[in-house]
Structure 1
Amino acid sequence: MNVIKFGGSSLAEGSQLEKVIAIISADTARQVVVVSAPGKRFKDDIKVTDLLASYAEQAIAGDDTVAIQAEIINRYRQIVAYFNLDETEIIGTLSEQLAKLSRVHYPSFDYLYAAFMGHGELLNAQLIAYVMRGLGHNARFVSPADLGMIVTGTPRAARIREDSYTRLANFQIAADEIIIVPGFLAYTNEGLMATFSRGGSDITGAILARGLHADLYENFTDVSAIYAVDPHIIDHPAAITTMSYREMRELAYAGFAVFHDEAIIPVIEANIPINVKNTNNPTAPGTMIVPVKQVTNPRPVTGIASDTRFAALYLHRYLLNKEVGFTLRILEILAKHGVSYEHMPSGIDDMTIIFDKTQITDAMRDAICDEIQTTLEPDHLEWIDDFAIIMVVGEGMNNRIGAFSEIATPLSDAGITLPMINQGASQISLMLGVRAEQVDDAVRVIYDAVF
């Protein structure tokens, strides 16, 4: 049995859903389908999830929400109309659920937003099951609550409870049926809707693949493969046919858009292979993501990823390495302000602390810098806001002599400096820190050198 997940662009309108149904029907192993909310139909279109965000804001403000509800429902109505099916029953059901959202009392604004945002997927899963039944398929809508998916954590960054996997393993699916499950959402023990973080539908798919003991997790997107580098930086980059879980994790962390870096952890834990494929070109083989032992003849470099969401705090103090508790005091300051760090490379007199700057406000930054300056009295302290990270990743890099020089020398020749270099303990990745304005040029130089 396969778990198959479709993103928002694959479900944006009736013609796309028609392709999706054909893909599902092409393989009887595809019995568990995870769906996102309808995405953009064209460049300047609005995703249903964004429409739901507007609905939530209007409801909070006490505004009339009739127009926004009608706009949301019309997206689903157009999909039903494409298949020439009677809309009376399904649109009436979806409309009532949508209207009810603004009448419910929520424990907090976070729970309110989670409920509104999650309904894009919830309504779409019901609609897709209805359409498939209308076309003669044995399809059934199944809620995460029916599957026993219970979450903890915060309302908009939920985490699956471990005992959910036991309930999933006991869930019965008939041999000839297809279940349609909304991605992105689950429920707390109190029955409140909560949503996963970024890449939420991918997380749902991975959880179901592990819990239902799937043979394969198929993730359909709008690209025919995962590419070795961002196609916006390099024209027609090399496609990756096979990569390891840990290569994917390293690359996703630094900006690969196919998966959020946490999304595939459940399938990694269960050793279930992932196949990334294209809804618009389903016969293309796509990219297989597998355990490292299944990667044969690994490339020296599989992929290059970059991200500009980082900032760095550079600290210089003589004999820093000999001062007991120095790093501990920095960590205590960060913990006091509720800030986690990404990396902390250091030398005998220097330390660089790298942050995801999306979690840090200007006030938090100033408070942290002031406290470090006052408490630790460094000789020099500098906040670097225009900091980017490049990850160069490949299983073939492990124990390979000269791997770094093949990357560093071309960068030096191109006049690109590297204020930070760090090799992971696995020895399959090099992390390079560069100024944000040089990051795309650096990626091009590295790609030309290794590909």
Structure 2
Amino acid sequence: MKVVKFGGSSLATGEQVQKVFNIIQADEDRKVIVVSAPGKRFSGDIKVTDLLKTYADQTIAGDDTTNIVLTILDRYQAIADFFGLKENKIIPQIKQTLLQLNRVHYPSFDHLYAAFMGHGELLNAQLIAYILQEIGQPAGFISPTDLGMIVAGSPRAARLDAASYERMHNFQYNPDKLLIVPGFIAYTNDGYAATFSRGGSDITGAILARGLQADLYENFTDVSAIYAVNPSIVPHPKSIEKMTYREMRELSYAGFAVFHDEAIIPVIEANIPINVKNTNDPTAPGTLIVPNQAITPTYPVTGIANDDRFAALYLHRYLLNREVGFTLKILQILASYNVSYEHMPSGIDDMTIIFDKSQLTPTIKAHISHDLYQTIAPDELEWLDDYAIIMIVGEGMQRNISTLNKITDALAQANINLPMVNQGASQISTMLGVPVDQMNEAVKVIYEAVF
């Protein structure tokens, strides 16, 4: 049995939905279908999820929401019209649900946003199930709660209650009927809507693959494979046929857009392979993501990822390595401002702490600097806001000791500075810190050096 997730671009129009139906019908093992909200139809278009956020904003502000409701409804109406469903029960039902959203009392604005934005997937799943039934395909909408999924935590960053897996294991479904499940949205024990964080529909798909003990988790998007590097930086890069879970996680963390790095944890824990495929080219093999032990590396490097969302704090103090509790004092200061760190490479007298800069404001940085001067008295302290990270990842790097030399030599010849080089603890990755304005050129140089 396969759990199959379709992204927003795969479901943006009636034409795209027809492609999805063709894919489903081409393989009888595709039984559980996880759907996203309709995405962008063209450059400059607005995703339904973003339209729902506008609806939530206007509701909170007390504005007239008539136009935004009609705009959202039109997106679903256009898909229904493509299949000739001029007179149907589903569109009035969707309209009523949309109108009801701003008549409900929510415990907080976060609960309100979760309910509004999660309905993009929920309404699309209901629409897809209805259309399938109308064209003669046995299918039914099923809510996450009916499957046994219960979540807790923040309304907009929900986490799965671990007991949900046992409930999903015991779920009985008709193998002759497709299950259409909304991604992104789930419900708490109290019945409140909640949404997963970034990559929410991917998280739902991975949870269901594990919970329903799927043989394969297929994730359909708008690319025919995962590429070894960002195609907007290096034209026509090498595609990746097969990679390991930990390669995918390392690359996702540092900028690969295919998966948020947390999204595939459920299938990793269950050792379920993932196949990333293209809705617009479904016969292409795509990229297979497999357990760490299920691959023999062909190349030292599998992929190169980059991201400029980071900031760094450089500290210098003589003999910092000899002071017991030195790092603990720093971490306690960061924790007091609810700031987590990403990496902390250090030397005998120096330390660089790397952060996701979305956590930092000028005020927080000033407070951290003040407390550090008071507590550890550094000889030097400098914030580096112009900071990008490049991650070079590959299972084969463990057995190819010359790879890093090739990379650093090539960067030196290109006159690209490396403020930081950090060999990953996993031994399958190397992290480089570079100035933001040299990031893209550095990625090109590294790609040429290793591929």
Considering the TM-score relative to the shorter chain, is it more than 0.5?
yes
Cα distance in structure 1, aligned partners of 2:305 and 2:383: 24
Q: After superposition, where does 1:218-237 map in structure 2 within 5 Å?
A: 218-237=218-237
- Helix, strand or coil for the counterpart of 1:57? helix
| 1:428 alignment partner in structure 2 | 428
Work out the CA distance in 2 between the residues paired with 1:28 and 1:366.
Answer: 59
Q: Is 1:16 matched up with 2:16?
A: yes
Q: How many residues align?
A: 451
Instruction: Show the counterpart of 2:255.
Output: 255
Question: Does 1:27 pair with 2:14?
Answer: no
> Which amino acid counterpart does residue 322 of structure 1 have in structure 2?
R
The answer to whether the 8 Å contact 2:297/2:395 transfers is: no
Distance 2:171 2:99 in 1: 31
Once the two structures are TM-superposed, the CA of residue 86 in structure 1 deviates from its matched residue by 4.1
Q: Could you tell me which residue of structure 2 aligns to residue 193 of structure 1?
A: 193
Counterparts of 1:323-342 in structure 2, within 5 Å, are: 323-342=323-342
Q: What is aligned with 2:349?
A: 349
The letter of the residue matching 1:172 is Q
Mapped contact 1:398–1:426 kept (Cα < 8 A):
no
In the TM superposition, what is the alpha-carbon distance from 1:173 to its structure 2 partner? Answer: 1.5
The alignment partner of 1:126 has SS state of helix
Structure 1 residue 373 displacement after superposition: 1.7
TM-score, structure 1 normalization: 0.99
Q: Runs (4+) of structure 1 moved beyond 2 Å?
A: none
Where do 5+ consecutive residues of structure 2 fail to align?
none
SS in 1 for 2:179: strand
2-structure distance, mates of 1:434, 1:290: 31
The match for 1:400 is: 400
Match of 2:302 in 1: 302
**Alignment match, 1:378:** 378
Paired with 1:87 and 1:244, the residues of 2 have a C-alpha distance of 48
2:318 is aligned to: 318
Q: What residue is the counterpart of 2:73 in the other structure?
A: 73
What one-letter code is carried by the residue in structure 2 that aligns with 1:431? M
Q: Any idea what the Cα deviations from partners look like across 1:123-153, whole Å, max 9, x if unmatched?
A: 0000000011111100100001111111111
Deviations 1:326-373 (A, max 9, x none): 111100000000000000000010000000001222211121112112
| Aligned-partner Cα distance in 2 for 1:124–1:23 | 18
Pairing of 1:21-420 with structure 2 (within 5 A): 21-420=21-420
Q: State the alpha-carbon separation in 2 of the partners of residues 3 and 369 from structure 1.
A: 49
Contact conserved, 2:90 with 2:130, CA < 8 A, in 1?
yes
Distance (whole Å) between structure 2 residues aligned to residue 59 and residue 401 of structure 1: 59
SS at structure 2 position matched to 1:427: coil
SS at match of 1:213: coil
Q: Identify which range, 393-402 or 43-52, moves more after superposition.
A: 393-402
1:380 and 1:26 mapped to 2: Cα distance?
A: 63
Given residue 397 of structure 2, which amino acid in structure 1 is its aligned partner? M
CA distance in 2, matches of 1:223, 1:352: 37
**Deviations along 1:276-317, whole A, 9 cap, x unmatched?**
000000000000000122212432000000000000000000
Q: Deviations over 1:185-230 (max 9, x none)?
A: 1111111000000000000000000000000000000000000000
1:87–1:323 distance in 2 versus 1, CA, 3 Å: farther
Post-superposition CA distance 1:3-47 (Å, at most 9, x none) = 000000000010000000000000010000000000000101111
Whether the 8 Å CA contact 2:224–2:281 is kept in 1: the answer is yes
- Whether contact under 8 Å (1:312, 1:387) holds in the other structure is yes
Amino acid at match of 1:290: V
SS of the equivalent of 1:422 reads strand
Unaligned runs of 5+ in 1: none
Q: Distance in 2 between matches of 1:366 and 1:133?
A: 60
CA–CA separation in structure 2 for the residues paired with 1:97 and 1:443: 47
Paired letter, 2:400: R
C-alpha distance in 1, partners of 2:296/2:378? 49
Q: Deviations over 1:230-282 (max 9, x none)?
A: 00000000000000000000000000000000000000000000000000000
Amino acid at match of 1:159: R
What's the CA shift string for 1:42-74, capped at 9, x where partnerless?
101111011001100000011111111011001
Q: Distance in 1 between the 2:298 and 2:149 partners?
A: 37
What letter corresponds to residue 238 of structure 1 in structure 2? K
Query: What do residues 168-198 of structure 1 show as CA deviations (whole Å, max 9, x unaligned)?
Result: 1111121211000000011111110000000
Shift of 1:87: 4.1
Matched letter for residue 331 of structure 2: L
After TM superposition, give the deviation of residue 387 of structure 1 in Å. Answer: 0.5
TM-score (norm: length of structure 2): 0.99
- Structure 1 counterpart of 2:369, which letter? C
Cα distance in 1 for residues equivalent to 2:297 and 2:399: 14
Partner of 1:441: 441
Give the percent of matched residue pairs that are identical in Structure 1 and Structure 2. 67
* The 10-residue stretch of structure 1 (171-180 or 379-388) with the greater mean CA deviation from structure 2: 171-180
